């Protein structure tokens, strides 16, 4: 049964990778309208994650798929219990993707502002809802002896779970701010760094409270475990580095704190997979929800073969797009000129509709 804890660790790593990589994406989505004050600035901010955001979301898909394959009973109970949360998270993820793709398809200030607002709201909802989701795993939800969820949606909105979501939102803001400061230049970079300095103390305090609450609710003794202790120290270090304008180190620290915050949930959860608030004996564990040993063995071989290639490809992608994104003039996309027409260079797009030039042709009068 050695494959059972191995796959629990792998699922924890996948959730951690999702929040470390997609965390700054969601932070950029929340901050792009604040840090990028004009259309050129917003375009610059969104350009920092343009080649990366869709690849980062794959970590969430793989985490869910791995749970389904390795722990089918856990998957069934979790998704039946968190059905409403899952639907809200999916809608928010879809809105984020659509906002990225459609925002610059048409000129017009109202069009751009609408998609920017949708992007900001969706980027806020994703870490909040998934944070509530992960917090409920440890806080406990009503589950009976048959591993069936017996509660309602209100049972999911408990204080610890909501606080977990708020903490992850704050970490995404800090993570995104340090990433924008690391990847841009000029006024956008300075505004992002200033915002990160403002967010750092708030995020650090929330992380410290979250780590303490997580340890207390897990019921695993009075002393913090090594993961919680390092997260405690890392939260303070991230705040100091953000104030010191060491952008690369600040981003590395926020990445570490984000990772340790997610890992601490799974460390305090193990060997349980989902806590029952009805009766501790009804809690799901990694052993009573796992797939047969042969299935886990085959999955392990496949993961060992494919995972290095996936990680290498994503590392190469980050290497290729490692340079800072500078402000660039935004031009309106126009169709190619018709045959015989004179080609002209389109004017820079300022966010306002392009005025029509030329005189209106007189109307043809009929009769008389």
- Tally of CB atoms within 10 A around 6: 15
Distances in Å between the Cα of 167 and the Cα atoms of 128, 203, 253, 258 are 8, 7, 16, 10
C-alpha radius of gyration, the chain, whole number: 24
Q: Which residues contact 106 (CB under 8 A, 6 or more apart)?
A: none
User: Which pTM was predicted?
Assistant: 0.83
* Domain span including residue 178: 3-294
Q: Tell me the mean pLDDT in the region 53-59.
A: 84
Beta bridge partners of 16: none
Please return the burial class of 246, using the count of CB atoms within 10 Å of its CB with bins 0-12, 13-18 and 19+.
Answer: middle
List pLDDT tens digits, range 185-210: 888 888 888 888 888 889 888 998 99
User: 120-129, 135-144, 310-319: which has the minimum mean pLDDT?
Assistant: 310-319
Asked if residue 220 is part of any domain, the answer here is yes
pLDDT band (50, 70, 90) for residue 358:
very low
List the end-to-end C-alpha distance of the chain, in Å, as a whole number: 97
- Identify whether 146 is part of a domain: yes
Distance separating alpha carbons of residues 368 and 35, to the nearest angstrom: 63
* Alpha-carbon span 178 to 276, nearest angstrom: 38
pLDDT in tens, 269-307: 999 999 999 988 899 999 999 999 999 999 999 988 988
Whether 109 is in a domain gets the answer yes
* Strand (E) or helix (H) holding 274: strand 272-274
- Name the more confident of 344 and 208: 208
Out of 95-99, 239-243, 318-322, which region has the weakest mean confidence (pLDDT)? 239-243
* pLDDT at residue 263 tops 90: yes
| Domain containing residue 95: CATH number | 1.20.1630.10
**Token code pair at residue 313:** 């490809």
Residues 6+ away with beta carbon under 8 Å from 242: 174, 177, 178, 193, 196, 197, 199, 200, 250, 254
Does residue 247 belong to any structural domain of this protein?
yes
Whether 181 maps to a domain, the answer reads yes
CA-to-CA separations, 68 to 15, 36, 74, 302, 354, in angstroms, rounded:
14, 40, 8, 16, 51
- How far is 76 from 145, CA to CA, in rounded Å? 15
In a domain, 304, yes or no: no
- Report yes or no on 344 lying in a domain: no
What's the confidence (pLDDT) of residue 323? 78
Considering only residues 338 and 124, tell me which one the structure prediction assigns the higher pLDDT.
124
Q: Mean pLDDT for the chain?
A: 84
The residue assigned the tokens 């809608």 is: 91
The two structure tokens encoding residue 272:
């349980």
> How many domains are contained in the chain?
1
Asked, for residue 300, whether it belongs to a domain, the answer is no
């Amino acid at each position: 049964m050695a494959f059972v804890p191995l796959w629990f660790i792998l699922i924890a790593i996948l959730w951690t990778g999702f929040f470390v990589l997609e965390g700054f994406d969601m932070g950029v989505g929340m901050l792009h309208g604040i840090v990028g004050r004009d259309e050129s600035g917003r375009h610059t901010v969104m350009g920092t994650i343009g080649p990366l955001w869709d690849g980062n979301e794959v970590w969430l898909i793989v985490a869910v798929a791995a749970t389904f394959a390795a722990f089918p009973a856990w998957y069934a109970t979790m998704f039946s219990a968190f059905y409403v949360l899952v639907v809200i998270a999916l809608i928010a993820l879809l809105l984020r993707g659509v906002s990225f793709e459609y925002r610059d398809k048409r000129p017009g200030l109202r069009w751009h502002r609408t998609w920017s607002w949708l992007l900001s709201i969706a980027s806020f909802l994703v870490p909040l809802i998934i944070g509530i989701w992960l917090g409920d795993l440890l806080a406990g939800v009503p589950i009976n002896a048959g591993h069936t969820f017996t509660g309602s949606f209100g049972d999911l909105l408990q204080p610890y779970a909501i606080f977990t979501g708020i903490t992850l939102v704050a970490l995404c803001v800090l993570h995104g701010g340090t990433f924008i400061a690391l990847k841009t230049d000029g006024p956008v970079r300075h505004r992002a760094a200033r915002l990160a300095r403002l967010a750092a103390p708030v995020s650090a305090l929330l992380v410290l409270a979250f780590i303490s609450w997580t340890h207390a609710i897990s019921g695993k003794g009075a002393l913090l475990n090594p993961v919680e202790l390092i997260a405690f120290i890392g939260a303070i270090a991230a705040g100091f580095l953000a104030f010191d304008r060491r952008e690369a180190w600040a981003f590395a620290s926020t990445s570490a704190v984000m990772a340790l915050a997610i890992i601490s949930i799974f460390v305090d959860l193990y060997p349980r997979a989902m806590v029952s608030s009805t009766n501790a004996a009804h809690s799901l564990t990694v052993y009573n929800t796992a797939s047969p040993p042969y299935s886990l063995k085959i999955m392990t071989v496949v993961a060992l073969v494919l995972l290095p290639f996936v990680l290498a490809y994503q590392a190469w992608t980050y290497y290729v797009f490692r340079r800072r994104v500078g402000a660039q003039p935004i031009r309106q996309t126009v169709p190619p000129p018709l045959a015989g027409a004179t080609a002209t260079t389109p004017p820079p797009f300022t966010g306002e509709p392009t005025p029509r030039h030329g005189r209106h042709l007189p109307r043809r009068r009929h009769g008389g």
